[in-house]
Structure 1
């Protein structure tokens, strides 16, 4: 008789194109689906979402429409849904889903795994206190970086490592599918056609980033750095993949600069590898991060990283080996690092090769999924 598959319910507020959301289908593709069956329940529907990607990864997707505060009125409905489908465990992502999972799990004998993707001081007061006051009512809290784990320890009103308690904290750093994320050849038809479509000269240096356009990314500083780089390297072009609430302000900043022809904002893209393959440098000016998936994907495509030492970025990038780092408030230093890489092709190639090796050795999706499966089996015991 075939062994019964473990039924895992991913619980998340929405399915936009953020890093936390994208990890659900990407991990499912690597999981042993002969042993695990995955479902995903979400509550806030957006036009640009990744539902198709979840379905393609053999995840069964369910929607219970709700707002943030409305989640507190969905506890009974979600509890009945879990009982109906006989799930073996809940894996919640981000504070709102985490709070809901803890209320739902109060009267159910079902393990709760929660993944924290950011440091606690970056959440608004409602998310922060809701998360903090319910935090111990779960079995394992997964931190995507050591800095995120430390923020849990510092903010919890009790010692989360206390022996005998229900809560355990485990660091599982984000991973990337290094087989899928491989750089396309620069003379390939796909890259050549894309550069022509974007009006990027064939041999022009391209500095880029993939991101949700939200305030934590500080894209106004990203554009400011780009304008400074243009003064030193006028042939350079800049590529932004993504969208969000800051797009209008960023477009206005670019338009007013008079250098609009150097910037290419291509919106949300389901297939990002061709765009990453056009980039020579991955530039990040973030104020805070968990451990950005898009950066790991860029590294897997042999792109050196120039970034602020925000969150888990400093745990991945070794300064001068896979890229260059500055402190968060010293972002101006990133300009010279970018210019240095544009001018020194041998250094650029070495750092790009090291970036991919770093991801293969320490941040692969295979390693991440293996650690997740181990956690699932442990909590089920």
Structure 2
């Protein structure tokens, strides 16, 4: 059995956390054993992880004491020889201490790119560009959620795309689930515009609210359903209040039942400033939803003809016009075969990653030279 240690899970629910937990649940536990690093006081899914027999290892927060953080990792890996692979999930290379410590301890390192940021704080960009060169010399396997994310993190080095797959059958359109959740949320006879994502600048909620304001000016039955939480939630709530939209916007907070909430929506709008993949756009397609997304979404997410890209340079009025095209009569359909054929069913994708851990899978690598 291979012992793997995962870095990259946080205390908030996002695309990376969903990816990790979906794959972990799908591994053959007789072949793969995964433990998780917790930095600080919280780790999303911690209770479930512990119940399933995996361990959670707590480390001090890096921001408070970077040296103590690094030494704690080094001590852990030096004394825990059973960890054969250290799998580090990254959104940027601003912090690569786990990679350096793992190599000093003679461990095999997988680095997994989950994003393709085109907007970063100056200090983050500087650290990313410096550390990226160091990281690329130390890593044993480079993984990414898309070609775009891989090229951004690894440049011209070879990398392997691991699809951000989902438990596909859980997301397929279900009329009974739709009726039940719409009743619970008071959405009967409403045109429900949906979004799933953390309240961060990446997800562009401010522009989304502008789009919805334009939608409401034309369709008085429109409701905006926002699934997620984050540091900008209060700011967005204030904007909703200022625009007089408070009674027409539902914010659910972070939820683990996204597959059910998607059933309640009529159209999915996703104007992100940047994405490594945009897994929720795939989840929305799995639920049979028409998806209006920004041009920052990588091509791998365009699996069905349900998804349409719109430039962020277009006005909120233009976005609302396109969204409202789906406000009359749109028939949801089953997209199982399309999404499975594209490699986004978790049972198939998890097997690829498992075989990479076990060194018995020679998948195609992408040479970007």
TM range (shorter): 0.7 to 0.9
> What is the distance in 2 between the residues matched to 1:128 and 1:97?
5
2:205 is matched with 219
* Structure with the bigger percentage of helix: 1
Please give the TM-score of this superposition, normalised by the length of structure 2: 0.87
Deviations 1:130-165 (A, max 9, x none): 5313222111111111111222354xxxx42xxxxx
Task: Give the deviation of 1:323 after TM superposition.
Answer: 2.1
Query: Which consecutive unaligned segments of at least 5 residues does structure 2 have?
Result: 363-369
Task: Give the deviation of 1:316 after TM superposition.
Answer: 1.6
> What is the distance in 2 between the residues matched to 1:221 and 1:26?
30
2:134 is matched with 134
1:29 aligns with 2:13: no
Q: Determine helix, strand or coil for the equivalent of 2:65.
A: helix
Task: Give the deviation of 1:170 after TM superposition.
Answer: 1.1
Question: Paired residue for 1:173, among 163, 181, 201?
Answer: 163
Q: Determine helix, strand or coil for the equivalent of 1:226.
A: helix
Q: Determine helix, strand or coil for the equivalent of 1:10.
A: strand
Please give the TM-score of this superposition, normalised by the length of structure 1: 0.84
Task: Give the deviation of 1:106 after TM superposition.
Answer: 2.8
Task: Give the deviation of 1:366 after TM superposition.
Answer: 2.1
Please show how residues 223-262 of structure 1 align to structure 2 within 5 Å: 223-262=209-248
Please show how residues 41-190 of structure 1 align to structure 2 within 5 Å: 41-46=37-42, 49-68=44-63, 70-85=65-80, 86-94=82-90, 95=92, 99-119=96-116, 121-123=118-120, 124-125=124-125, 127-136=127-136, 137-154=138-155, 159-160=156-157, 168-186=158-176, 190=180
Question: Paired residue for 2:261, among 264, 275, 278?
Answer: 275
> What is the distance in 1 between the residues matched to 2:314 and 2:64?
38
Q: Which has the higher contact order (CA 8 A, sep 6+)?
A: 2
> What is the distance in 2 between the residues matched to 1:36 and 1:252?
46
Whether the 8 Å contact between 2:285 and 2:307 is mirrored in structure 1 is: no
> What is the distance in 2 between the residues matched to 1:11 and 1:373?
17
Tell me the number of residue pairs that the alignment of Structure 1 and Structure 2 aligns: 354
Root-mean-square deviation (CA, aligned residues, Å) is: 2.6
Whether the 8 Å contact between 2:199 and 2:229 is mirrored in structure 1 is: yes
> What is the distance in 1 between the residues matched to 2:142 and 2:308?
31
Mean Cα deviation higher: 287-296 or 32-41: 287-296
Judging changes above 3 Å, is the alpha-carbon distance between structure 1 residues 226 and 220 closer, same or farther for their aligned structure 2 residues?
same
